[in-house]
Amino acid sequence: MKGIILAGGSGSRLWPATFGLNKQLLNVYDKPLIHYPIATLMLAGIRDICIITTREDQAIFRRALGSGDQYGVHFEYFIQEQPNGLAEAFPITEEYIQRNSCALILGDNIFHGSGLGRHLQNFAKIDGAQIFAYKVSDPERYGVVSFDKKGKVISLEEKPKESISNFAVPGLYFYDKEVFEIARQIQPSSRGEVEITSINQYYLRKGKLQVSILPSGTAWMDTGTFSSLHDASSYVKALQERQGNKIACLEEIGYRLGWIDNSTLMATAVRYAGTEYAAYLEMIIESGT
Residues 23-52: tens digit of each pLDDT: 999 999 999 999 999 999 999 999 999 999
> Would you say residue 252 lies in a domain?
no
**Same structural domain, 187 and 226:** yes
CATH number of the domain bearing residue 65? 3.90.550.10
**Same structural domain, 86 and 11:** yes
pLDDT at residue 177 is higher than 90: yes
pLDDT of residue 289: 64
Average pLDDT, the chain: 93
**Same structural domain, 186 and 79:** yes
Evaluate whether 75 touches 66 at the Cβ level (below 8 Å): yes
**Same structural domain, 176 and 35:** yes
**Same structural domain, 273 and 177:** no
Residue 185 to residue 204: CA distance in whole angstroms:
15
> Would you say residue 163 lies in a domain?
yes
The whole domain housing 263 covers 259-289
pLDDT band at 18 (very low <50, low <70, confident <90, very high): confident
Residue 259 to residue 71: CA distance in whole angstroms:
7
pLDDT of residue 119: 92
pLDDT, tens only, 92-140: 999 999 889 999 999 999 999 988 999 999 999 999 999 999 999 888 8
Burial class, 155, CB count within 10 angstroms (exposed 0-12 / middle 13-18 / buried 19+): middle
Q: What percent of the chain has pLDDT over 90?
A: 81
**Shortest CA distance to 45 belongs to which of 226, 242, 263, 253?**
253
Identify the sign of the CA torsion 5, 139, 133, 174: negative
Task: Look at residue 207 and give its three-state secondary structure.
Answer: coil
The more confident residue out of 288 and 151 is 151
The one-letter amino acid at 163: S
Does this model's pTM top 0.75? yes
**Shortest CA distance to 249 belongs to which of 35, 99, 44?**
35
**Residue 270 neighbours by CB distance under 10 Å:** 11
pLDDT of residue 198: 95
**Same structural domain, 106 and 181:** yes
> Would you say residue 250 lies in a domain?
no
